[in-house]
Amino acid sequence: MKSYQRRLAAKILKCGVNRIWIDPKNEKVKLAVTRKDVRRFIKEGFIEKLPEKKRVRGFEKTQQRRGSIKGSKFARTGKKDAWLKVVRPQRKLLKQYRSDKQIDSKAYRRVYKLIKGNSFRSRHHLESYLKDKGLIK
């Protein structure tokens, strides 16, 4: 039954189950069923969060050089990931303008399709386009 209290305490203390210490001498802890009970035992010191174990490196990490890189440029990080890094902030900006009523729905649709078509390099490029065309109020 200790595992249930351990899991609850881990969720409350925001750590792993293995970092929870429950006082083995206290029999009341086994009766804890609710989060309220577990919180009370944490306050009283019957349940504690153990410190993190430090990782010990037996060797010094060497810097990775060009010769040790395996795979082509896009095998390591795909083209889609790069495209999403550009597109998502642009769409977020456009939605913000729409929610703030700075851009009308027709212009929103047109610019959304331009973003999808990869017309803008960055958020800044999109902002400058909107200002030049007078689409922002």
**How do residues 18-65 score in pLDDT, each as one tens digit?**
999 999 998 888 888 899 999 999 999 999 999 998 877 777 777 777
Residue 134 pairs in a beta bridge with none
Q: What pLDDT sits at residue 1?
A: 43
Provide the pLDDT confidence category of residue 4 given band limits of 50, 70 and 90.
confident
**Statement to judge: residues 79 and 31 lie in one domain:** no
**Statement to judge: residues 7 and 39 lie in one domain:** yes
What tens digit of pLDDT does each residue of 70-115 get? 888 888 889 999 999 999 999 999 999 999 999 999 999 999 999 9
User: How far is it, in rounded angstroms, from Cα 40 to Cα 47?
Assistant: 9
Q: What pLDDT sits at residue 103?
A: 95
Q: What pLDDT sits at residue 2?
A: 59
Domain assignment present for residue 77? The answer is yes
User: How far is it, in rounded angstroms, from Cα 115 to Cα 133?
Assistant: 15
Query: Long-range contacts for 127-134 (Cβ within 8 Å, ≥24 apart)?
Result: 127/93, 130/97, 130/103
User: How far is it, in rounded angstroms, from Cα 89 to Cα 100?
Assistant: 16
User: How far is it, in rounded angstroms, from Cα 127 to Cα 14?
Assistant: 40
Please tell me the pTM assigned to this model. 0.50
Domain assignment present for residue 10? The answer is yes
Residue burial 102-135, b: 16+ Cβ < 10 Å; e: rest: ebeeebbeebeeebeeeebeebeebeeebeeeeb
CATH number at residue 87: 1.10.1200.60
**Statement to judge: residues 43 and 81 lie in one domain:** no
The parent domain of residue 35 ranges over 2-49
Distances (CA, A) of 24 to 2, 28, 46, 56, 108: 10, 10, 9, 30, 63
The predicted model gives 127-134 an average pLDDT of 96
Domain assignment present for residue 55? The answer is no
Q: How many domains does the chain have?
A: 2
